[in-house]
Amino acid sequence: MDRLTTREMTARLRAAGIPVTLQRLEIARVLLSRPAHMSADQVLSEVRQSVPDTSRATVYNTLKLFREKKLVKELIVDPDRVVFDSNTYPHYHMYDVNTGELTDVSAEELKVVGVPQLPPDIELEEVDVIIRVRGKHA
C-alpha cells in the first residue's frame, strides 16, 4: 500500500460512503496511508500531533465506522489488546506474545483447507487466523 495523498484519502472515504471531516481524514491518514496494526490509543496519540483537540470518542467512533465500511479489520490479539489492521486483503497474522509484535502472514504461506460444516441458515463471513508465538528462551 503506497502513501495516499489527501485527495486520494478523501476519495477513498467518500467512496466508502463516509462523510469527510478533518478528524476522520487525519485518522485515515494515520491508519490507512501505510500497512499498520495500531491500537485505538496509538491512533489517538498520532492524530493528536496534528489535530490536538481530537477526542478519544471521536477516534473510537471513527475506527468503528471504518471497520463497518471495511476500510480496516479489527483484530483481538489477546483479551487486553485490540488492534486495527489497514490491510484488508486476505491474510493472516503472527503475534509474538512476549514482544507484542504483530506481523502479516500471506494467504499463500498458510492454507486453510476446510471449515466445519455450517447449518443451512449460516454463511461463512471470513476466517481469521492469529498464530501466537514466543521466543524459546523467554
- 41-80 pLDDT, tens digit each: 999 999 999 999 999 999 999 999 999 999 999 999 888 8
Local structure of residue 71 (DSSP, 8 states): S
Q: Cα dist. 112→49, 102, 132 in Å?
A: 41, 20, 17
Q: What is the pLDDT of residues 22-32, one digit of tens each?
A: 999 999 999 98
Nearest residue to 90 (alpha-carbon basis) of 126, 61, 46: 126
Does the predicted model carry a pTM greater than 0.75?
yes
Q: What is the pLDDT of residues 95-132, one digit of tens each?
A: 999 999 999 999 899 988 888 999 999 999 888 899 99
Across 3-12, 43-52, 90-99, least confident range: 3-12
Ordered structural domains, the chain, with CATH: 6-78 (1.10.10.10), 89-133 (no CATH)
Place of cell 496519540: 45
pLDDT confidence of residue 138? 58
